[in-house]
Amino acid sequence: MGSKGCKGFGLFGPSTPCKDRSHLTCLQDKKPQITETWVPVLQASLVLLGLTAGSGVSLDGFGMERMRCVNKTADLTTGTSVLPCQGSASVGEIEIVPPESRAGRVPGVAVSLEALAVTGKTGSPSPVLEAVLAGRKMDLDRAQAIAQDIGKPEYSLAQYYQDLLTTFPELHLFSLEGLSVEATDDSPEGLTTGGRAAGDEFQRTMGAFFAIYWLFRLPLDGKHGFCRGVDESWKPVESREGDSDKVAAFFEDDEIWKHFQDLMLDAGLMVKQGGAMRVDKESTLALLVLTALHDIMKINALLPTVQKADAPYRGYLEAEVIADHDLAVFYIMEQHTHILPSLCQLPPAMQQVVQTVLSGLAFNNGWFVQAEAPPGAVFLGIKAAIMRNGSERRVSRRDLSLYFVHWLTDLAGAEPTPLCGCNKLTSQLPMPVLKSFMKSVRYIQQLADRSETEVMESYLKDRWKDHRPSMGTLEAGPHALAKARLLCMAQGNAKVVLDAFEKLSPEDQEVLSVEMARTGAERQSFSKGFVPDSVRQELVGPAFLVYYGPAFLQRMGTDSPLRRLEILAEIYRCARKLWPARTAEAGDCVTVRIDAITIQGQWSSADPEVLLLRMCSSKQACLERRPEDAKKNREDNAVILFDSEPPTFLPQAPELCSQEELIRRISHEMLTNGQWYRKVAFAFLRPAKPGEVITTMVNGKEETRNIAQESDFVVQANTKWKENYILSKTRASEAYDLTNPMEIPSGRPDASQLSAEGFCCYRSRTRIKALKATDELLRRHCPFKRFMAKWGTPCVVQVDDMLAAQVAGDTVTEIYRIEKTVFRETFVPDLASEK
Q: pLDDT tens digits, residue range 629-666?
A: 766 666 767 899 988 766 554 554 456 788 888 998 89
Encode pLDDT of 571-602 as tens digits.
999 999 989 998 888 888 999 999 889 877 67
What is the dihedral angle through the alpha carbons of 426, 429, 433, 437, rounded to the nearest 10 degrees? -70
Q: Report the C-alpha dihedral over residues 374, 380, 386, 392, rounded to 10 degrees.
A: -160
> Residue 433: which of 258, 568, 246, 560 has the closest Cα?
246
Task: Inform me whether the pLDDT recorded for 391 exceeds 80.
Answer: no
What average pLDDT does this structure show over 734-761? 86
Whole-number Cα distances in Å, 159 to 7, 62, 166, 780, 797:
18, 20, 11, 76, 63
Three-state SS at 577? helix
Put residue 576 in one of left, alpha, beta given phi > 0 → left and psi -120 to 50 → alpha. alpha
Phi (first) and psi of residue 811, to 5 degrees: -120, 130
Cα distances (angstroms) measured from residue 445 to each of 120, 268, 387, 655, 689: 46, 18, 11, 41, 21
The least confident of 277-286, 455-464, 774-783, 791-800 is 791-800
Give dist(CA 335, CA 628) in Å, integer.
Answer: 42
Task: Give φ, ψ of 106 to 5 degrees.
Answer: -95, 160
Give the residue from 538, 535, 386, 370 showing the smallest Cα distance to 452: 386
Query: How many whole angstroms separate alpha carbon 686 and alpha carbon 761?
Result: 9
Is 161 within 8 Å of 95 (Cβ atoms)? no
Flag whether pLDDT at 680 surpasses 80: no
Average pLDDT over residues 619-627: 88
User: Worst-scoring range by mean pLDDT, 328-332, 375-379, 429-433, 739-743?
Assistant: 429-433
pLDDT > 80? residue 120 = no
Q: Count other Cβ atoms within 10 Å, centred on residue 429.
A: 22
Helices (H), 590-726: 659-673
Average pLDDT of the residues in 232-246: 86
Does the pLDDT of residue 221 top 80, yes or no?
A: yes
Which amino acid makes up residue 613?
L
Burial classification of residue 628, based on how many CB atoms lie within 10 Å of its CB (0-12 exposed, 13-18 middle, 19 or more buried): exposed
Given this model, what pLDDT does residue 226 score?
96
Instruction: Tell me the C-alpha distance between 651 and 670, whole Å.
Output: 32
CB 343 within 8 A of CB 351: yes
Domain segments of the chain as ranges: 492-653, 659-834
The more confidently predicted of residues 25 and 340 is 340
Q: Which residues pair with 543 in a beta bridge?
A: 589
Whether the per-residue pLDDT at 196 is higher than 70: the answer is no
- Lowest-confidence region among 71-80, 246-255, 416-425, 668-677: 71-80
Mean pLDDT of 762-775: 89
> Residues 436-464: what's their mean pLDDT?
86
What are phi and psi for residue 742, nearest 5 degrees?
-110, 160
Across the range 288-313, mean pLDDT stands at 90
Contacting residues for 48 by C-beta, under 8 A, at least 6 apart: 3, 4, 5, 6, 11, 162, 166
Whether residue 440 contacts residue 366, with contact meaning beta carbons closer than 8 Å, is answered with: no
Q: Tell me: the pLDDT tens digits for 70-91? A: 222 333 233 333 333 333 322 2
pLDDT score of 130 more than 70: yes
758: left (phi over 0), alpha (psi -120 to 50) or beta: left
Helix segments in 542-689, DSSP class H: 549-554, 561-578, 659-673
Comparing 28 with 519, the larger pLDDT belongs to 519
Q: Tell me which residue of 311, 306, 312, 408 sits closest to 365, measured CA to CA.
A: 408
Q: What is the pTM of this model?
A: 0.57
What mean pLDDT do residues 461-485 have?
93
* Rounded Cα–Cα distance for residues 256 and 246 (Å): 13
**Rounded Cα gap, residues 399 and 176, in angstroms:** 31
